[in-house]
Amino acid sequence: MNSLASIVILTGLSGFLSALAASFFLALGERRRGALLPHLVSFATGALLGAAFLGLLPHAVESIGRAAHTAWASRCCSGVLTFFLLRSSSSGATATTILRNALTQPRSARRRVGTHDPGG
């Protein structure tokens, strides 16, 4: 199979799978959709920003030259790791816990992550 045919087939398959995922999302109850939608929007925003910045990385590496490549790569990876650790420690909950609570608890029973709870 040539590359054009594989591109066309994979594009059609990804379109079908995204329409299938959207139909499953619409089949959820309105309360669950309302609870899940902000998380999905945040994920989509992060994915778009991540793809944009990852697309810029080859140009940045090319502009600094090969000699500084290792130092730059280690700084880039340590920056991503640092921000991940800061975000994880400040939220007080993992993404799995947040998603599970959004799907199982009613909106009135959930507390916002990162807010101060004087009673508990």
Determine contact, residues 113/93, Cβ cutoff 8 Å: yes
Please tell me whether the overall predicted TM-score, pTM, comes out greater than 0.75 for this model: no
CB-based burial, 40-76: b 16+ in 10 Å, e otherwise: eeeeeeeeeeeeeeeeeeeeeeeeeeeeeeeeeeeee
pLDDT band for position 107 (cuts 50, 70, 90)? low
Domain ranges of the chain: 29-109
**The two structure tokens encoding residue 40:** 């999905």
| Residue range 46-80, pLDDT digits in tens | 899 988 888 887 787 778 776 777 777 788 888 88
Residues 6+ apart with CB under 8 A from 28: 36
